[in-house]
């Protein structure tokens, strides 16, 4: 039999997954560095670009692997565990990512295979195939979905870049499932060698326009300070990162006006 705790968590997960103004159950997030800037990173290079803008993958020049844990709202049942790996091949990079959240009675998983390549000296593009599965205990059936997403990154000047990313860009008339569409667009400015600032707009099916802004400041070449704000749920973010030889460690914290604090931690390994 379900304990009271399991029943409460199951109801919370169901509401979070299906509320039109709540959390998009097809929007998996990863990367404590990205979370620290409020996920204002559509035009900023980073390891977890498969979750942000696949075009950024083209700028990766080394084999890298990473793991991330997001302790969403301080509930282990809603935590998201993610892993990824990137392989560069000439002007192209191939990436694989996987995320899982939930527990034995209700869980959601996501897997993606992405490719990013340079189209010209200043333009890169990427595409990713996505697979989602929801598992529920008892008489409920499992749900499986397949979709794709794509992105473009443009280097406007030496210190200004702009990006656009589309998730599930399929017309309503062709959809056989309830997967929403999502459009993100934004720009980033490298103010100097140490400071990056960015701003983004995000529009998803059935949701209000979400504006995000964030920054990253680099101290002494190996210590990073980050902050951000998102109009959705009036969320503030804060994060720190430290690079030690070939290992990058990041931590972040973000707020939600109703559900409390979400913390994230990442480890990224530069293999070659």
Please state, in angstroms and rounded to a whole number, the distance separating the CA atoms of residues 151 and 192: 26
Write down the pTM of the prediction: 0.84
DSSP per residue, 74-108: G-GGG-EEEEEEEEEETTEEEEEEEEEEEETTEEE
Backbone angles phi, psi at 252, to 5 degrees: -155, 160
What kind of fold does domain 25-270 have according to CATH? Porin (2.40.160)
Question: 42-70, pLDDT tens digit by residue?
Answer: 999 889 988 889 999 999 989 999 999 99
CB atoms within 10 A of CB 34: 31
Angle at alpha carbon of residue 8, lines to 5 and 13, rounded to 5°:
120
Question: 84-131, pLDDT tens digit by residue?
Answer: 999 998 889 999 999 998 887 888 999 999 999 999 999 999 999 999
State how far the alpha carbon of 114 is from the alpha carbons of 9, 81, 168, 189, in Å. 33, 19, 14, 26
Question: 259-272, pLDDT tens digit by residue?
Answer: 788 999 999 999 87
Take residue 209 and report the two structure tokens written for it. Answer: 């326009």
């Amino acid at each position: 039999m379900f304990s009271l705790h399991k029943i409460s968590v199951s109801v919370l997960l169901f509401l979070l997954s299906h509320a039109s103004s709540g959390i998009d159950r097809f929007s998996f997030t990863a990367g404590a560095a990205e979370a620290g800037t409020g996920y204002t990173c559509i035009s900023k290079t980073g390891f977890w670009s498969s979750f942000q803008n696949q075009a950024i993958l083209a700028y990766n020049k080394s084999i890298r692997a990473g793991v991330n844990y997001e302790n969403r709202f301080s509930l282990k049942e809603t935590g998201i565990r993610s892993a990824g790996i990137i392989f560069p091949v000439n002007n192209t990079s191939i990436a694989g990512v996987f995320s899982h959240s939930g527990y034995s009675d209700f869980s959601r998983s996501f897997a993606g295979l992405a490719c990013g390549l340079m189209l010209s000296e200043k333009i890169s593009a990427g595409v990713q195939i996505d697979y989602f599965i929801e598992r529920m205990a008892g008489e409920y059936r499992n749900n499986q979905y397949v979709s794709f997403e794509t992105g473009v990154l443009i280097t406007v000047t030496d210190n200004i870049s702009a990006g656009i990313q589309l998730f599930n860009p399929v017309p309503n008339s062709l959809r056989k499932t309830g997967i929403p569409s999502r459009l993100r667009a934004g720009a980033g400015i490298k103010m100097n060698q140490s400071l990056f600032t960015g701003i983004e707009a995000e529009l998803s099916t059935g949701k209000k326009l979400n504006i995000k802004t964030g920054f990253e400041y680099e101290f002494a070449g190996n210590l990073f300070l980050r902050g951000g704000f998102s109009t959705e749920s009036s969320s503030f973010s804060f994060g720190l990162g430290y690079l030690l030889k070939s290992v990058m460690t990041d931590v972040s914290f973000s707020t939600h006006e109703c559900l409390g604090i979400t913390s994230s931690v990442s480890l990224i390994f530069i293999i070659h």
